[in-house]
């Protein structure tokens, strides 16, 4: 199969199933299964699932509570249950090594699941996945029946709810023996039954989760629109007078009717504006590519670490290249009036035990360089043909040394080359004598921007000192006595909650986040799913300053679990009536997961001089009070409490940091609430 990989990718990828016999040597089959099941701390529902199918075809989940007992699981398997180990690469080194190689080769995420099924049993009912799937039969044999997806090809979400009568005749029926490999395109409905007399064990490896053109456009279109608005005045023109009286579902003409002239003119203008976005496709594609690539670097498995090749400081003629190109992403961030900032994201500090885990959004380690001196060197590394080496004279000596020390570059001896001319020193954030600085979990606060309005150098130093002084920050917030005030009930308002310099630093940090890095969340009201209508943007990771601010806010209720995010409300953003009830899985330091409930909600408002006519007010629906989002003011209340956020009507973004304090257990019911 892999000998003709080019033909396979052209003809089969995304379209047709394919089986390859004897894909894995017998000595490699089943390796690691016992290691997976005996790994300490496997948690039901998170790391392992146990299920069986009833006589009527329905699926019965047989998970226990908390950590799984291998002896109990063995008894369940003997009783006819199937076992799924979720993301076994976290426990089995051979699986992790396989996925590392796939991620390095394909440049996208790969995941895995392990399935053990007793003889003659079917543990998991017919379903389709939203990923490209490869099934590798490790032990025993399994009969598979494949069907087309009733909702159409290439779905973006999985489905486990198929009934036999919905599926129609099968596309293919086959039996996988140990060593066989089966490829299933996204959306292929499949169900398998272990052959009588032999237990079945197969490994599913998958890729292309949320990795289609629609996902790319979600990042590219906002960037194209931002570029178009800045470059072309037609995007900034006002809407036609009284246009909202002709647009909307209720004004849509019936049948072949064309609608009124005003409606046609509006739709025609919209078509032209949408077509005009294509003129900015190249820049938008680069923005989306940088974002998704940096995101992949942060989520992928870590590559091998350590220095490779001779030390550049030892002298001699060297050549260099990225040690693993798919583990590095160079992003250049440009701000008006400032030197460009080069961010080198890498995966060397990624965690194997959190790979592909839901709810975990890691942030890659990042090296930050200021100025343009290093750009030619980085471009030479990035544009070199795959596997090619870059001659040492083409690389800045300090950059070469620093990247090699971090393990990002590998070097080798080359033919002697003339001494490179002396270059101007690179303006790099870091300590003297070692000008590259590895910034864990975020990019460093930029010293070049201390002249920003309202945040001069002394103010910045004061804010940074506060965030770095845990005792000072803790003492400051303990004095507000939030716990005591919450016990009195109602909504607590804390004006001047933190030093003004800290609030200004928080505001500047949010304002400088790239537009594409904000995650837009929106939905309409859906009573069946207990959803409320809402729209706003949030950001949780990617800034060391944000991490420090979140830790400081956690001292409002010391000792309690918490979760904070940054928020941005633009024109039209809002949240309808809701009471914040929700359960949240929290990963503890020992690796276990605890189900928690929100108990206290906190919002820290950060936009200065907010005006009432701009909307965006907090509405306490239990008292009718409206609270304006005043700068450096914290609003807190016990959960549940019904409230809403009025639509923002002004053009000024409403920035905040919001979150919840959490306690273990289900402390309330989620029925009849949001």
Of 175, 207, 239, the residue that ends a domain is 207
Question: Does residue 523 share a domain with residue 393?
Answer: no
Q: In terms of Cα–Cα distance, which of 110, 39, 38 is closest to 591?
A: 39
Question: Does residue 387 share a domain with residue 510?
Answer: no
User: Picking from 221-235, 272-286, 308-322, which range would have the lowest pLDDT averaged per residue?
Assistant: 308-322
CA angle 385, 389, 392 (to 5 degrees): 130
Question: Does residue 305 share a domain with residue 171?
Answer: no
Q: What is the pLDDT of residues 404-433, one digit of tens each?
A: 999 999 999 875 433 333 333 333 333 233
Question: Does residue 199 share a domain with residue 52?
Answer: yes
Question: Does residue 193 share a domain with residue 325?
Answer: no
Crossing angle between the packed helical segments 213-231 and 281-299, to the nearest 10 degrees: 130
Beta bridge partners of 529: none
Would 172 be classed as within a structural domain?
yes
Range of the domain at 329: 300-413
User: Picking from 186-200, 386-400, 422-436, which range would have the lowest pLDDT averaged per residue?
Assistant: 422-436
How many domains would you assign to the chain?
Answer: 3
Would 264 be classed as within a structural domain?
no
| Cα 129 to Cα 170: distance, rounded to the nearest angstrom | 17
Would 426 be classed as within a structural domain?
no
Would 309 be classed as within a structural domain?
yes
Question: Does residue 462 share a domain with residue 398?
Answer: no
Of 179, 207, 235, the residue that ends a domain is 207
The domain that contains 621 carries what CATH number?
Answer: 2.60.120.620
Question: Does residue 181 share a domain with residue 57?
Answer: yes
Question: Does residue 650 share a domain with residue 592?
Answer: yes
Reported pTM: 0.60
Please indicate whether residue 585 or residue 410 has the higher confidence score (pLDDT).
410
Question: Does residue 514 share a domain with residue 590?
Answer: yes
Of 164, 192, 207, the residue that ends a domain is 207
For residues 367 and 438, the answer to whether their CB atoms sit within 8 Å is yes
Residue 213, CB-side half-sphere exposure with 13 Å CA sphere: 2
The domain that contains 125 carries what CATH number?
Answer: 2.60.120.650
Q: In terms of Cα–Cα distance, which of 630, 637, 629, 642 is closest to 660?
A: 637
Q: What is the pLDDT of residues 328-387, one digit of tens each?
A: 999 998 877 777 889 999 999 998 988 988 776 777 789 988 778 888 999 999 998 888
Would 261 be classed as within a structural domain?
no
The domain that contains 324 carries what CATH number?
Answer: 3.90.930.40
Highest mean pLDDT among 63-67, 291-295, 391-395: 291-295
Would 409 be classed as within a structural domain?
yes
Q: What is the pLDDT of residues 90-104, one digit of tens each?
A: 989 999 999 999 999
Would 560 be classed as within a structural domain?
yes
Joined together, the tokens standing for residue 642 give 């019904």
Would 366 be classed as within a structural domain?
yes
């Amino acid at each position: 199969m892999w000998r003709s990989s080019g033909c396979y990718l052209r003809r089969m990828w995304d379209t047709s199933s394919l089986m390859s016999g004897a894909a894995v040597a017998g000595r490699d089959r089943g390796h690691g299964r016992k290691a997976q099941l005996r790994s300490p701390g496997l948690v039901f529902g998170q790391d392992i699932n146990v299920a069986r199918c009833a006589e009527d075809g329905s699926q019965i989940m047989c998970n226990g509570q908390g950590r799984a007992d291998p002896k109990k699981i063995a008894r369940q398997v003997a009783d006819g249950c199937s076992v799924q180990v979720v993301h076994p690469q976290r426990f089995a080194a051979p699986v992790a090594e396989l996925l590392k190689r796939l991620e390095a080769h394909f440049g996208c995420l790969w995941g895995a699941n392990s399935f053990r099924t007793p003889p003659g049993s079917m543990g998991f009912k017919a379903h389709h996945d939203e990923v490209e799937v490869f099934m590798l039969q490790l032990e025993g044999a399994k009969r598979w029946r494949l069907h087309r997806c009733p909702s159409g090809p290439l779905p973006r979400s999985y489905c486990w709810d198929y009934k036999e009568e919905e599926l129609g005749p099968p596309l293919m029926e086959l039996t996988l023996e140990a060593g066989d490999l089966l490829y299933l395109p996204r959306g292929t409905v499949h169900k398998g039954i272990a052959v009588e007399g032999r237990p079945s064990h197969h490994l599913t490896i998958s890729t292309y989760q949320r990795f289609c053109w629609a996902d790319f456009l979600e990042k590219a279109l906002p960037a194209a629109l931002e570029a178009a608005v800045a470059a072309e005045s037609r995007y900034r023109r006002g809407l036609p007078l009284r246009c909202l009286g002709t647009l909307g579902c209720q004004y849509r003409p019936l049948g072949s009717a064309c609608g009124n002239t005003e409606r046609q003119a509006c739709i025609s203008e919209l078509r032209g504006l949408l077509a005009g976005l294509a003129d900015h496709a190249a820049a938008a594609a680069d923005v989306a590519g940088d974002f998704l690539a940096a995101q992949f670097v942060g989520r992928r498995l870590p590559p091998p670490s350590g220095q490779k090749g001779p030390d550049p400081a030892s002298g001699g003629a060297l050549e260099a290249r990225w040690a693993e190109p798919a583990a590095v992403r160079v992003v250049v961030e440009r701000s008006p009036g400032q030197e460009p900032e080069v961010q080198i994201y890498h995966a060397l500090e990624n965690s194997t035990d959190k790979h592909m885990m839901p709810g975990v959004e890691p942030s890659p380690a990042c090296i930050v360089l200021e100025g343009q001196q290093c750009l030619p060197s980085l471009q030479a590394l990035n544009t070199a043909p795959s596997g090619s080496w870059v001659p040492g004279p083409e690389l800045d000596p300090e950059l070469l040394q620093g990247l090699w020390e971090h393990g990002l570059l590998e070097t080798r001896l080359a033919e002697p080359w003339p001494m490179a001319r002396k270059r101007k020193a690179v303006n790099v954030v870091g300590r003297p004598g070692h000008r590259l600085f590895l910034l864990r979990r975020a990019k460093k606060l930029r010293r070049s921007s201390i002249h920003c309005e309202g945040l001069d150098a002394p103010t910045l130093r004061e804010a940074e000192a506060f965030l770095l002084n845990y005792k000072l920050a803790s003492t400051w917030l303990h004095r507000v006595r939030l716990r005591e005030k919450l016990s009195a009930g109602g909504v607590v308002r804390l004006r001047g909650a933190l030093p003004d310099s800290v609030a200004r630093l928080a505001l500047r940090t949010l304002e400088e986040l790239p537009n594409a890095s904000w995650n837009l969340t929106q939905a309409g009201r859906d009573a069946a799913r207990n959803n409320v209508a809402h729209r706003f943007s949030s950001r949780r990771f990617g800034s060391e300053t944000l991490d420090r601010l979140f830790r400081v806010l956690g001292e409002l209720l010391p000792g309690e679990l918490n979760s904070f995010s940054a928020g941005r409300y633009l024109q039209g953003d809002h949240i309808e009536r809701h009471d914040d009830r929700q359960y949240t899985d929290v990963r503890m330091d020992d690796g276990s997961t605890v189900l928690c409930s929100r108990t206290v909600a906190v919002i820290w408002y950060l936009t200065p001089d907010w005006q009432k006519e701009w909307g965006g007010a907090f509405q306490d629906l239990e008292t009718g009070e409206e609270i304006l989002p005043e700068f450096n003011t914290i609003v807190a209340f016990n959960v549940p409490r019904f409230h809403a956020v009025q639509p923002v009507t002004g053009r000024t973004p409403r920035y905040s940091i919001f979150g919840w304090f959490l306690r273990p257990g289900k402390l309330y019911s989620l029925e009849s609430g949001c």
